[in-house]
Structure 1
Amino acid sequence: MIKRDHQILVLNRNDPVWPGLTFPGGHVEPHESFHDSVIREVKEETGLTIFSPKLVGVKQFYDQNQERYIVFFYITNKFTGQVKESNEGTLSWMTKEELLKHQLAYNFDRDLPIYFDAQLNEHLLDGKRDELF
């Protein structure tokens, strides 16, 4: 999550499998640190260079083959550059209240509390449970 004053940069994804609003992000490349991957992915998807991303939580879930996925949630308000859209989708700055009025990407509404509640830091979604810790 990239914050600017009281606004958040959101991505309206073009992906027909996972459409809707979410935060910029992506995958970790081989031999890449999580820290470096979040900086790289944000640059690729937004044109911004972020600094000092802070890890605020994790999500774990299982795909249709029961392969475990782990997602790391980061926040920063330190960046340079101009917003530039990529083929991932359109970008816009919104308040939290505006964000909640739009169609969110599947299950993204369950991830948002981790970004906004310092008491939470994990989302477990395993087919049997959907819990925040």
Structure 2
Amino acid sequence: MELLQTTLCYLEKDGAYLMLHRVKKKNDVNHDKWVGVGGKFEPGEDAPACALREVREETGLTMHAPVYRGIVDFFCDPWPAERMHLYTCTDFSGVMTDCDEGCLEWVDKAAVQDLPIWQGDKIFFKLLAEDAPFFHLELTYDGDVLVKAVLNGVSLAL
């Protein structure tokens, strides 16, 4: 099975994550959800190149030292399976610009869990908060409902 390759980045500053409130695109699977910044690989790109490009395109900011935190695989019929390469970054520069996919906002890390985010995102936010070593998370959804989560080969209780 071929996986759609994507990246997701969370820029960090002053105890907050830069979040994207997805409200601008039509027919958006993430509509009204709060997510990080990222997107699909372009031909010939690897994960670091995609992460750098997507952050620059969507925020105007340039990451200098992104940290590769984990791989998150998503399964949800009828969508294609997706492999998301997850990054965080505290070292970046530039002037933030508007994003055509939604509204960018710095959100206190403690408040992220209260936003409308995907259920599986709560799992990897916990791993990020715990500074977990590099991880592999598999998330299976039925529509918007998380039905299975496997972390490093071990099923999690939902």
TM-score by length of 2: 0.74
- In terms of mean alpha carbon deviation, does 91-100 or 106-115 score higher? 106-115
Alignment of 1:57-68 (within 5 A): 57-64=70-77, 67-68=80-81
Give yes or no for contact 1:73–1:115 (8 Å, CA) kept in 2: no
User: 2:75, 2:113 → 1: CA distance?
Assistant: 26
TM-score by length of 1: 0.86
User: 2:74, 2:29 → 1: CA distance?
Assistant: 17
Look up the SS of the partner of 1:8 in the other structure.
strand
Return 5+ residue gaps in structure 1 as ranges.
none
Q: Confirm or deny that 1:41 pairs with 2:54.
A: yes
Residues 132/12 of structure 1: CA separation in 2 closer, same or farther (3 Å cut)? same
Q: Confirm or deny that 1:73 pairs with 2:73.
A: no
Residues 129/103 of structure 1: CA separation in 2 closer, same or farther (3 Å cut)? closer
Q: 2:102 maps to what in 1?
A: 89
- Once the 2 structures are TM-superposed, how far is the Cα of residue 132 of structure 1 from its aligned partner? 2.5
Q: Which of 10, 31, 41 is residue 19 of structure 2 equivalent to?
A: 10
Q: Which of 116, 133, 141 is residue 103 of structure 1 equivalent to?
A: 116
Q: 2:137 maps to what in 1?
A: 123
Residues 58/111 of structure 1: CA separation in 2 closer, same or farther (3 Å cut)? same
Count of aligned positions: 133
Return 5+ residue gaps in structure 2 as ranges.
1-9, 142-146, 153-158
Q: 2:43 maps to what in 1?
A: 30
- In terms of mean alpha carbon deviation, does 92-101 or 122-131 score higher? 122-131
Q: Confirm or deny that 1:50 pairs with 2:69.
A: no
Could you list the runs of 4 or more consecutive aligned residues of structure 1 that deviate by over 6 angstroms after TM superposition?
A: none
Q: Deviations over 1:68-88 (max 9, x none)?
A: 321111011111111112111
Give yes or no for contact 1:57–1:122 (8 Å, CA) kept in 2: yes
Residues 12/66 of structure 1: CA separation in 2 closer, same or farther (3 Å cut)? closer
Which AA in structure 2 matches 1:131?
Answer: V
Q: 2:4 maps to what in 1?
A: none
**Structure 1 or 2: larger strand share?**
2
Which AA in structure 2 matches 1:73?
Answer: L
Give yes or no for contact 2:137–2:151 (8 Å, CA) kept in 1: yes
User: 1:62, 1:103 → 2: CA distance?
Assistant: 20
Which AA in structure 1 matches 2:44?
Answer: H
Give yes or no for contact 2:71–2:85 (8 Å, CA) kept in 1: yes
